[in-house]
Amino acid sequence: MKEISIPGSKSISNRVLLLAAIGQKPVLLKNLLESDDTVYMRAVLSSFGVKFSQNENGLLVSPPVYLKGDGQTHHIGNAGTVARFVSAVSLIINGEYGLKGVDRMHERPQADLFSALRNLGVEINCRENDGYLPATYRGMGGILNGRIVKLSGRVSSQFVSALLLVAPRITGGLRIEMDEVPPSQPYIEMTLEILKLWSVNFTIENEGRSMDIQEGLSAPESYTIPADMSGASYPAAWSTLTKSILNIKDFGSVTLQGDEEFLGICEHMGAQIKKDSEDCLFNAFSDPSPETTFDFSPMPDVAMTGMILSAFYEGEWKFVGLESLRVKECDRIQAMVDGFTLLGIKTQVAGDDVSIIGGAYWMNDDNISRMKSARITTNSHDDHRIAMCFGVLRSTLAQKVKSPAESLFKIGEPHCVAKTWPNFWNDLADWETQRVS
């Protein structure tokens, strides 16, 4: 049986980095993800006066009495959580600072968050297009123009989480009111669970549409970040597709992440899965259940992995709840459809809904020969999740047609996996060479 470990959660890593930075005592973070996104987060927080020191047990985060802007504009790549969370820091920081990123980051909308921050008194200067980075902020130091902020229920869950994370350092706290529950609600629930670990008091009303966060927080002495459930989808899909017995070590008994529901997709496709303490074992495989419609609104970051799974199984598999994929690191719907089309996999798109026509038809000898002779390179659009998804697809296809993976097609911008899983390609090769079924 093959045993593997996966990196710590990116979503949780950046949430607890921010909470540790605004607390009032040092906290030791264990199993923190080391990736582009957390590097950007730490760099910005360091410029605000936060101290970081690494030891054999983890990363010790020592917060200053008050965060202070350094007047500089900080590059954050294409890190969405950093853009949203650090924008909200403007509510509690003293002084000025700025954020900028890669071109794609400057295309990702932030207007709803900026509007909320401005209504609370923050001065935001968007240098190119209003509602988008690059932007500069003049901080409020925790004293706002009121403590109630109203949001549309269709905003990104990251906007809501950003406000929740800084709320405990706002004088009098913060009340967030929405006209409906946002999509990706599990990410908001994750943030609230983490706030509990920092001893933050809050009340939830109106079926989750109103949240009242009280002032004050107290950091634990240490916190261990659970494994990344979005990342876990790749070995989970690979094991299901190749029927390889696999144990994911330190999966976590309480992951706090909605993407854990992806295990249910793997079970629908025939995997038999057993949770044992902190581990997750894929230990047997059967035929998939009939074709169906999958709603990925609670877990959009793993929708693309679900599409990879469906491509190998007979039938028309429908995917809904994908609206947020249009404004991620790239247009993930289009990126997946374009990649599938290059490889000869049939798809149908209706608005933001996608159907994958799966089966063996695209794995025949003629198509494999065409694929090789065309020297295809899939476009990752500098998006780590697109690259890793097509990595799983290529690895699976290589085993099914008994051909070296590199001979089938290439994956563009493979380096972009550093955003969340820097050692992904080496780890994938290790799964392949030690396959046990």
Set 36, 37, 259, 301: catalytic member:
301
Pairing type for strands 210-213 and 246-249 reads unpaired
Q: How do residues 333-384 score in pLDDT, each as one tens digit?
A: 999 999 999 999 999 999 999 999 999 999 999 999 999 999 999 999 999 9
Q: Examine the pLDDT at 436 and tell me if it is beyond 90.
A: no
User: Position 220: which residue type?
Assistant: P
Residue 1: band (very low, low, confident or very high) from pLDDT cuts 50, 70, 90: confident
pLDDT value of position 301? 95
Q: What are phi and psi of 98, to 5 degrees?
A: -140, 160
CB count within 10 Å of CB 125 equals 12
> Residue 301 catalytic?
yes
Supply the mean pLDDT for the chain: 95
- The fold for domain 229-433 equals UDP-n-acetylglucosamine1-carboxyvinyl-transferase; Chain (3.65.10)
Going from the C-alpha of 13 to that of each of 38, 59, 79, 224, the distances in angstroms are 7, 11, 13, 10
Residue 434: band (very low, low, confident or very high) from pLDDT cuts 50, 70, 90: low
Pick from 131, 112, 104, 121: nearest CA to 329: 104
Q: Examine the pLDDT at 437 and tell me if it is beyond 50.
A: no
Parts of the chain belonging to CATH 3.65.10.10: 2-215, 229-433
Q: What is the mean pLDDT of residues 55-59?
A: 94
CATH architecture of the domain with range 2-215: Alpha-beta prism (3.65)
Q: What is the mean pLDDT of residues 176-202?
A: 92
